[in-house]
Amino acid sequence: MNQHEIGRGIGLSVGASMLFALMSGYTRLLAPLDGLDIFAWRVVWTVPGALALLVLRQRLPQAGALLRRLAREPLTCVALAVAAALLGLQAWIFMWAPLHGRALEVSLGYFLLPLTMVLVGRFYYRERLDLLQWLAVACAVAGVLHELWLTRSFAWPTLVVALGYPPYFILRRKINADPVVSFAFEMTLLLPVVVIMLYLRDSLPVIAHRPDMWLYLLPGLGLLSTVALGAYLGASRLLPMALFGILGYVEPVLLVGVAILFLGESMAPGQLATYIPIWCAVALTAVHSVRLLRK
């Protein structure tokens, strides 16, 4: 893995984090749709963008190769279906949380996710960590331990995010397909499920009388989702698992800002002792990334 790939992966990861944070606030524009409806429409409008990415990024030969693999490898079919389901779960909770006052709980899950990814990188993939990475992990652990002491538990949205993504990324690496192609296939697998869901939930009549919804708000959601997920999955292939995990601290910092500034959620004074060590981990990660780029 060369330095050019690492630099490109860092840029993709940070860009994806900024777009995901923007998407969290974007959900407020889609009232009266609830979290499940928004998730379903997000998939519907993301599929055309994902297929367009295949064409624009000249990935049609890789898509054909993956189709041929799926025809002769049943286990790869199962792995892809499970990966699609895991991705759908994460996409749903991300859309649901801001509308139900749970954005901070989800953001804490994204704070914990890099720690779990680093541990996967270290103990599953046997990747080495340098001093700055170990210090970042130590800061994150301090914040996590304080949160456990403060609340005696983690909310279920926190655990879904922190523990749900590592199996997804492990599966994607085992499938070993182009990230854009895998993303397009996963979205396409989710499409029939969400179309049935929208039909059963009578979501179509809700947006039928809202031209702003189907003209630009929902297509805009699909565009944001396509670019953000495409960048995120691209970064997952270009970066070592440990560095990819630590860079994940950027997104929850931005999500906390969106939750407090735009969604009206508040942070208790005691929670500062949870977030300050994690923000220190973010700073150490930034220094580590700059050092990698300078090399």
Look at 6 and 61; give whichever has higher pLDDT. Answer: 61
Q: Is residue 132 scored above 70 in pLDDT? A: yes
pTM score, whole prediction = 0.78
Q: Exposed (0-12), middle (13-18) or buried (19+): which is 165, by Cβ within 10 Å?
A: buried
pLDDT of res. 2: 65
Q: Is residue 253 within 8 Å of 18, Cβ to Cβ?
A: no
Q: Dump pLDDT digits (tens) for 48-58.
A: 988 888 888 88
Give me the residue label for tokens 């997000």. Answer: 42
CA torsion angle for 105, 253, 96, 238 (degrees, to 10)? -120
Asked if residue 68 has pLDDT above 90, the reply is: yes
Residue 137, classed as helix, strand or coil, is helix
| Most confident region among 69-73, 114-118, 141-145, 223-227 by mean pLDDT | 69-73
Residue written as tokens 């599953």?
A: 124
